[in-house]
Structure 1
């Protein structure tokens, strides 16, 4: 490990004598948490540390620089101490390039200083400077998810593309008894919908907490163990609300209380970070859902005004550094026929623009809305061409329409000049979603073929599974993720197939080349074709216009494993060729052009 002599300067208005310190070399993409001393204050101080102080830290590598917001951290170890007061501010950063870095920051005080240029008069309390050296990325490092493809995210370090097979439930994942300051502010649940009788404990997953997994003061093991289990079962994304005040669960918010939107619970947010760090270390996407349809106008009447900007700044400062972050404008965001208020298109656009301007890590931004063609058209259509909106987080009342709806909005957004990534993040109907493994009857086979594979074979980027309100372990009261264990594995089988066998980033939906009920085709014409036969029925593939001989191998979406290769060959000159699956149930045909050397064998 290399140590470099660095200078740390702490000052009031002018720099005192610099103090020489030694900081270790960090690896590219390694998380850094830098602590800075400031005035002693508290969560409830009359001069509010969250609104009336601001610390921004600028990190510089050569001619490249990035400015990251910092946050009030009480004593700097609040997750473990429960501290509500102290004199520490922190910033979290991951260097995205090698070499020497320097940083500078100013801690300022003034009324509403967090608003930056809009704040007015402010005083500089402290100035900080320092530096570090970023060495090569560690073996296996993926880097951050970036957007440089019209339909898929990609890991910046490894270059691999990302397909999502995640869980959407419970939406109130953070309504967890082991987090400080967490309570339900009301037990008023809508008749007939899911309800939760207490905060989550996830005791079913205590035995999944492994040696070396984190915890705080002996707490957190149920949730940490649950995330470890999910990753081992093939899940690579978790969905959660960060504010459900007046929503369904009424048990998640970042504040010290549910009725004060200006002060954050430092120890609770520090404990959230321990959980997010663990998921990040396992390669999982963190899907932040910023509000619910019931409370999307709670802050500033839906505008991106001072309350919402404070909320967003704290989330970006504390959690934006993670490798795989989705900022979702809100669950079921936008007008509907049963809610009194909703964000309109201009308000949605303002949120998108705020993240484009203020998230230094340029994380993925999506919009989730109500199911149904009319709702999709009403809310998504005015946003077509919005380049800073990266994608759609689809909710479908009829999940069997996934292929058509995904293809439709991919085409619409492409024609508008700002292609959107399309994921299926809630499968309806609301009362059912994805059935538990033990349910009879069971919809998992249909959802696997027509929702999961339907999305992927249209050019979609994956799914997260929603657990319906009338199922055990549902969207609010889930305690045991093993209730859908089988589904996680067959979801991961789909991802494995795409990552192992396909140049899917160069392929597109081509249903016109296949014939048969709900038989989807995904292809790079002339080279590789994938055809789904969801009900075990033969399919037809149109090879007219191609040339050469093609191999035909089969993959079981339910069982995964190796391709079934019976030596089948078809020729493009045969035109429309018949593909007969090797067994019952759903099968996927992989039809690939044989090279000259392979054809000669």
Structure 2
């Protein structure tokens, strides 16, 4: 991954397409481009608030394509290393999605609360800037950005490959990390019986996983969290979940502001350090799952409305981090009505958030909703939003992890029938106090059950994957996790499932066909007449009805526990027989893959 910074001077730059001569591209397609714009000298705590009363917008053009991207106050070059809180630097970050000659025009304007004014002509112009750069072909192996052009899956724009998530949901307060500037816990009160922790994260168990060239800051800070991300990537994890605002929540140690009581000023060096971590995860192909608030604080900003506080918060997140290749904006952990808190965001307030991102995020990143578990909560929260096209999917929490197949299939069907299909991922698997057990919890470890009935249950229903939650009462739990190796086994068998789907199935063309197994305990996922996948969670022989098709099918087997290649037993079945029996080649859960003989 290349990251390119282009420095501009305060003079007005002029550009004439006909006189440009290039010997090589400035950047590759999808590279991160950071443009520096000198402006007025100011500071994070200036009386004339630079976050509120200044607005930088940058319009990029290539041919007939154009997009306007929000900029941000960056203080000074290298603020992640210096910790500077004053300076005259504004920046914009962008990833060009086309080859060719690009131009940009930028305007820095000043006005009271100008960030909220949608009129591009509003405010007093402080500086104007222009420039150009040439974008060459994508680098070898570049996948591009995740886009939504399928009802059930995201897809990498450059490679065309579809995305299945096998991620981690814990610790939710990932960014409550000791090496980030101005990071502290504002209260040490925790709810009785739930997750608690002492001090900030150090992730010292992963300092040995750090590598030369990792983007540390301040002479080597950040090795714990960067090393942890290296380890997760090696173990097969491709998505990380984290809160960006947990004031008054469970961890009480993550916010983008200069302190936990502030709502209109941002700690620029801390956010620059966050960006180092996000850049690193992005370079390893990981999804960045931004969870915008918690159930305890979803009405902290503007009483739940998308008013001046929330709009500023969202604009800063989009401007600083929205450019990454794989971004999920999650409305909030356990968002919406519940039976124990004093306030929550209403359906109308949820729609305000969804609509804000649809209008103001120029990258068109994926937006999801996470709620409390159970059918009562699903009905109360999901049903009013059925048919909402701007909501990309559901970030499901399941109190009963073994209901994954039925719940995934039901909400895929209901959203499709409402005219706006939702992508279904499982992003918190309960019960809340347990989640997925550590590897060391054997022999009562629940991992085999969660693999068979939750991960594979979701995938076999047309779901798009899982992030694993570490229960409130487990070692290395949702707040105090320091060593991700506590669930090493689970990451690896999750990655086995994902790679099997990627390597052997046209899964984006397949549909759940459980009725063909004649069983309540076996699942079928099929492209009718071509490919059938039958999953046997309990390892018992299964029956598959092939009477709707013709021809002979080769049968091979996949071991979900160990991964690896397919086991070819040389078995063939004839669709003319109607019901065919599938007998697994060993104990434990197995997946049977049936493919039509070539030429038929």
TM-score, scaled relative to structure 2: 0.96
Matches of 2:7 and 2:366 in 1, distance apart? 35
Q: Please report how far the alpha carbon of residue 24 of structure 1 lies from its aligned counterpart in structure 2 after TM superposition.
A: 6.1
2:234 paired with 1:232: yes
Aligned to 2:152: 151
Q: Please report how far the alpha carbon of residue 347 of structure 1 lies from its aligned counterpart in structure 2 after TM superposition.
A: 0.5
Distance change in 2, residues 1:394/1:520 (3 Å): same
Matches of 2:579 and 2:250 in 1, distance apart? 52
SS of the aligned residue for 1:442 comes to: coil
Distance change in 2, residues 1:400/1:264 (3 Å): same
SS of the aligned residue for 2:587 comes to: coil
Aligned to 1:516: 519
Matches of 2:121 and 2:135 in 1, distance apart? 37
Matches of 1:195 and 1:439 in 2, distance apart? 20
Contact 1:56/1:69 (CA < 8 Å) preserved in 2? yes
Contact 1:113/1:120 (CA < 8 Å) preserved in 2? no
2:299 paired with 1:297: yes
Matches of 2:25 and 2:80 in 1, distance apart? 24
SS of the aligned residue for 1:267 comes to: helix
Matches of 2:555 and 2:416 in 1, distance apart? 32
The residue correspondences of 1:419-430 to structure 2 (distance < 5 A) are 419-430=421-432
Question: Which runs of 5 or more residues in structure 1 are unaligned?
Answer: 1-5
Matches of 1:333 and 1:274 in 2, distance apart? 29
Matches of 2:538 and 2:421 in 1, distance apart? 32
My pick for the range that moved more, 516-525 or 201-210, is 516-525
Contact 1:202/1:226 (CA < 8 Å) preserved in 2? yes
Matches of 2:518 and 2:229 in 1, distance apart? 41
Q: Please report how far the alpha carbon of residue 10 of structure 1 lies from its aligned counterpart in structure 2 after TM superposition.
A: 3.8
SS of the aligned residue for 2:263 comes to: strand
The residue correspondences of 1:46-85 to structure 2 (distance < 5 A) are 46-85=47-86
Deviations 1:5-43 (A, max 9, x none): x996746xxx58899999961000000111000000000
Contact 1:421/1:460 (CA < 8 Å) preserved in 2? yes
Contact 2:10/2:39 (CA < 8 Å) preserved in 1? no
Aligned to 2:464: 461
> What count of residue pairs does the alignment treat as equivalent?
589
2:111 paired with 1:117: no
Aligned to 1:325: 327
Matches of 2:8 and 2:560 in 1, distance apart? 56
Deviations 1:461-485 (A, max 9, x none): 0000000011110000000000000
Aligned to 1:528: 531
Q: Please report how far the alpha carbon of residue 211 of structure 1 lies from its aligned counterpart in structure 2 after TM superposition.
A: 1.7
Aligned to 2:318: 316
Contact 1:10/1:18 (CA < 8 Å) preserved in 2? no
Matches of 1:61 and 1:116 in 2, distance apart? 27
Contact 1:52/1:113 (CA < 8 Å) preserved in 2? yes
| Residue in structure 2 matching 1:497, options 497, 500, 505 | 500
Deviations 1:407-452 (A, max 9, x none): 0000000000100000000000000000000103010000001100
Aligned to 2:587: 584
Aligned to 1:208: 209
Aligned to 1:480: 483
Q: Please report how far the alpha carbon of residue 497 of structure 1 lies from its aligned counterpart in structure 2 after TM superposition.
A: 0.5
2:547 paired with 1:544: yes
Question: Which runs of 5 or more residues in structure 2 are unaligned?
Answer: 1-5
SS of the aligned residue for 2:414 comes to: helix
Matches of 1:24 and 1:78 in 2, distance apart? 28
Contact 1:7/1:129 (CA < 8 Å) preserved in 2? no
Deviations 1:126-155 (A, max 9, x none): 000001000000000000000000000000
Matches of 2:544 and 2:553 in 1, distance apart? 12
Deviations 1:306-351 (A, max 9, x none): 1000000000000000000000000000000011100000100110
Q: Please report how far the alpha carbon of residue 516 of structure 1 lies from its aligned counterpart in structure 2 after TM superposition.
A: 2.8
Deviations 1:163-204 (A, max 9, x none): 000000000000000000100000010000010111000000
Aligned to 2:509: 506
Contact 1:57/1:103 (CA < 8 Å) preserved in 2? yes
Contact 1:110/1:120 (CA < 8 Å) preserved in 2? no
Aligned CA-pair RMSD:
1.8
Contact 1:76/1:89 (CA < 8 Å) preserved in 2? no
SS of the aligned residue for 1:338 comes to: coil
Contact 1:113/1:119 (CA < 8 Å) preserved in 2? no
Q: Please report how far the alpha carbon of residue 76 of structure 1 lies from its aligned counterpart in structure 2 after TM superposition.
A: 2.4
Contact 1:7/1:130 (CA < 8 Å) preserved in 2? no
TM-score, scaled relative to structure 1: 0.96
SS of the aligned residue for 1:263 comes to: coil
| Residue in structure 2 matching 1:571, options 571, 574, 580 | 574
Contact 1:168/1:425 (CA < 8 Å) preserved in 2? yes
Distance change in 2, residues 1:517/1:121 (3 Å): closer
Deviations 1:61-116 (A, max 9, x none): 01110000000001121101000000000000000000000000110111001112
The residue correspondences of 1:176-191 to structure 2 (distance < 5 A) are 176-191=177-192
Contact 1:9/1:130 (CA < 8 Å) preserved in 2? no
Deviations 1:375-403 (A, max 9, x none): 01110010001000000000000010000
Distance change in 2, residues 1:575/1:77 (3 Å): same
Aligned to 2:309: 307
Matches of 1:300 and 1:534 in 2, distance apart? 47
Matches of 1:10 and 1:225 in 2, distance apart? 39
2:252 paired with 1:259: no
Distance change in 2, residues 1:40/1:509 (3 Å): same
Deviations 1:537-591 (A, max 9, x none): 0011010110000111110000001111111111111111110000000000001
Matches of 2:183 and 2:14 in 1, distance apart? 44
Aligned to 1:393: 395
Q: Please report how far the alpha carbon of residue 521 of structure 1 lies from its aligned counterpart in structure 2 after TM superposition.
A: 0.7
Distance change in 2, residues 1:139/1:17 (3 Å): closer
Aligned to 1:553: 556
Matches of 1:260 and 1:474 in 2, distance apart? 29
| Residue in structure 2 matching 1:444, options 439, 447, 464 | 447
Matches of 1:497 and 1:220 in 2, distance apart? 34
